[in-house]
Structure 1
Amino acid sequence: MKTITLTLPLSPDYHNESADLQKTGYTISFEIQNGTHTVDTHPIPVGKLLYLNNTNLMAQLSFTYNYEEENQVITISGPEYVAEDAVCLTTYPEGTMEYAYQRGSETKISTQKALYNPNWNYNTPMTPNLDQLFANTVKEANQALIDAFLKENLTVQVKTPPPALSPEEHNDLQLLYKNGLFAGFYNSEEHYGNEFVKRSIYSVWGGEVTFNKNENFANVIGSTNDPKIASKTWLRLWSDQYGNPTNCTSLNYSPVTCNTNLVGGHVILGKTAKAEPKGSNSVYIMPICSAHNNNNNVYMAAIMYQKGVWLKNYLN
């Protein structure tokens, strides 16, 4: 098992007539285990609440990850992702149960109940801007976790909100499934029988993925349709996240000599091209050349780019 050791921020430096907080970190060490797990730091004091008889303000962080040990893929929520399993900072006056929960995607306390705590509510004029500072602290902790996983040479999937798409992009990015298998892109000029099911990109948006340098990946069989329309749009989806690619991700990886026609290729980890079944969480979009995209008998490597778009939960 891999052991992760890192220091996570718990509070900002903040001083006024109501609160006296010190910039505080907490060093945590934990083993990455197969499956889904939640990790909590121990609560520690990060300062004093001057208006509450100098009571200690306690703070702790919690986060949830999923680890697929066989493929060494770890998944965690990103700083802007709104979910119960996102990185969360819990603060409360020592000796009380007046908990306030802060996530990076929100500048206000993330539960309505906490807004009615009689003594601890930092969304008031007593502590101006503290909500934003706590939100920034959570974002810093979230990024520190992602960086720590990357240092362990793991494939890191980060949950993010789906991108804003124009109506035209939304239409071009619809997906087709046949008998539970991904069958390509929807083309409005084609006729499809009842055995096909159409799904929006939003139904399978996962977020971002970071591969290891030179990590191998292969094509998803059944993902070719109209490269002049759909593939160009999938490439733009990648470009909107990371900028315009100038080369194939797997540039001249033997035995293929790359061309300059880039597409947004549907790929999976490993060395074998295959179709992906219903519920798959393992499909990614990477910029690859048409020579690689049209050859299911070869596999590729993350040479030029390591970051991709993560698609998940096909058809579920």
Structure 2
Amino acid sequence: MKPKSSPCNGGGTIISFSVGNRLPYSVPLLDLPGKVHQVDVDLRDGDHTIASPEFELGTFKLNGLKTIMGRLRFGYSYDSKNQVITVCGTDYASAADEAAPHQDWNYNTQLMPGVAKIFREIARQANDAFIAALVEAQIYMVRVRSNLSDLQIDDYLNLCVVTSADGQFLGSYDPAAEYEEGVKINPLDSVYNGTTVVPAGTFFANVIGSDGDPKVRGLSWIELWRQMVNGGQQPVACTSYNFNGFACGPVDRGGHIIPGTVARPIPNGSDVYIFPICAAHNNNDNVYMSAITYQTAVWLKNYMGR
């Protein structure tokens, strides 16, 4: 079932997607015939935790037939004015279980091998389908929280910056340097927060004054985008390749960008985004760009915040 969206008479937007176990599973105690259901989510402004209506998954066959029901529960944050929605990615660390069983039913037994995996996959596929439906709906910005991998101590130190006793920025932490008394080693200013998907053709512009923004994990910004967005592959062209007749060169920058058509400085602590762009675009604050080659950016939080 293709995800879709539609306006709601009450002022929200209905996002529709499918959920269920697509492949049948059957053992003497349990029958999951492969039911798929449509779930509708009415997006409303603000922070929300929602639970879907119950949907049928199958039948438990012990002491009579008992219907097995499932229900989705997840959260989102929606800024309807700016058309920005924030959700958790499927692999994002969460305090909630991916698939929470009924307190009176233990399906982690040898009598139902693999069922826990099936229920976990139902939850994960539903989250993926929800995100895909949001992207399909052409919401201006879909921000998906995700995690960097666990860091070794050397990598952790690369996430730190150094400030003087009076708060002056001294640069990224250098384990070989000798610092004066009173300096502070702080967590990295801009930290990876996930990815952001925008519709094709979305306009964006440079962040003026971003050269001093420290790097995540000691990586160059374009390497961070390559690892977290592009499966480790190098970008093939500038995101705004030849837009409006602009002559692009080789793509070799991970540019700090903001939505809109005007390049400008932004306050410390703001959200910024990283797209792969060419040096010519990166060095020209008099033009704006368009998401042509790529529509997924790295999302950074706490820009230059110290």
Which TM-score band applies after superposition, normalised by the shorter structure?
0.7 to 0.9
Q: In the alignment, which residue of structure 2 is the partner of 1:160?
A: 146
Q: Would the alpha carbon gap of residues 60 and 81 (structure 1) be closer, same or farther in structure 2, given more than 3 Å must change?
A: same
1:216 is matched with which residue: 190, 196, 203?
A: 203
The alpha-carbon deviation at position 263 of structure 1 amounts to 1.1
Q: Which SS does the other structure have where 1:266 is aligned?
A: strand
Equivalent-residue separation in structure 1 for 2:244 and 2:183 (angstroms): 38
Report 1:39-54 matches (<5 A): 39-51=50-62, 53-54=64-65
Q: In the alignment, which residue of structure 2 is the partner of 1:25?
A: 36
Deviations along 1:99-134, one digit per CA (max 9) or x if unpaired, are xxxxxxxxxxxxxxxxxxxx4122222221111111
The alpha-carbon deviation at position 264 of structure 1 amounts to 1.1
Amino acid at match of 1:24: K
Deviations along 1:4-25, one digit per CA (max 9) or x if unpaired, are 2222226863211221222222
Q: Which SS does the other structure have where 2:287 is aligned?
A: coil
Q: Would the alpha carbon gap of residues 20 and 147 (structure 1) be closer, same or farther in structure 2, given more than 3 Å must change?
A: same
The alpha-carbon deviation at position 71 of structure 1 amounts to 2.2
Amino acid at match of 2:119: F
The alpha-carbon deviation at position 69 of structure 1 amounts to 1.6
The answer on 1:290 being equivalent to 2:275 is no
Q: CA RMSD in A?
A: 3.7
Aligned residues: 285
Q: In the alignment, which residue of structure 2 is the partner of 1:37?
A: 48
The answer on 1:59 being equivalent to 2:61 is no
Normalised by the size of structure 2, how large is the TM-score?
A: 0.78
Amino acid at match of 1:266: H
Any stretches of 5+ residues in structure 1 without a counterpart? 93-97, 99-118
Contact 2:20/2:122, CA 8 A, preserved across alignment: yes
Question: 247-256 or 126-135, which moves further after superposition?
Answer: 247-256
Contact 2:257/2:273, CA 8 A, preserved across alignment: yes
Q: Would the alpha carbon gap of residues 224 and 196 (structure 1) be closer, same or farther in structure 2, given more than 3 Å must change?
A: farther
Q: Could you list the runs of 4 or more consecutive aligned residues of structure 1 that deviate by over 3 angstroms after TM superposition?
A: 88-92, 163-178, 187-198, 229-232, 274-279, 313-316
Equivalent-residue separation in structure 1 for 2:288 and 2:156 (angstroms): 30
The answer on 1:300 being equivalent to 2:293 is no
Equivalent-residue separation in structure 2 for 1:159 and 1:85 (angstroms): 15
2:248 is matched with which residue: 233, 258, 270?
A: 258
Equivalent-residue separation in structure 1 for 2:57 and 2:134 (angstroms): 26
Q: In the alignment, which residue of structure 1 is the partner of 2:9?
A: none
The alpha-carbon deviation at position 74 of structure 1 amounts to 1.3
Task: Determine what percentage of the aligned residue pairs are the same residue.
Answer: 33
The alpha-carbon deviation at position 145 of structure 1 amounts to 0.7
Equivalent-residue separation in structure 2 for 1:192 and 1:250 (angstroms): 44
Q: Which SS does the other structure have where 2:116 is aligned?
A: helix
Equivalent-residue separation in structure 1 for 2:193 and 2:136 (angstroms): 22
Q: Would the alpha carbon gap of residues 159 and 126 (structure 1) be closer, same or farther in structure 2, given more than 3 Å must change?
A: same
Equivalent-residue separation in structure 1 for 2:46 and 2:276 (angstroms): 30
Equivalent-residue separation in structure 2 for 1:197 and 1:234 (angstroms): 22
The alpha-carbon deviation at position 311 of structure 1 amounts to 1.4
Q: Which SS does the other structure have where 1:142 is aligned?
A: helix
Equivalent-residue separation in structure 1 for 2:63 and 2:184 (angstroms): 63
The alpha-carbon deviation at position 244 of structure 1 amounts to 0.7
Q: Would the alpha carbon gap of residues 121 and 309 (structure 1) be closer, same or farther in structure 2, given more than 3 Å must change?
A: same
The alpha-carbon deviation at position 83 of structure 1 amounts to 1.5
Q: Would the alpha carbon gap of residues 302 and 177 (structure 1) be closer, same or farther in structure 2, given more than 3 Å must change?
A: farther
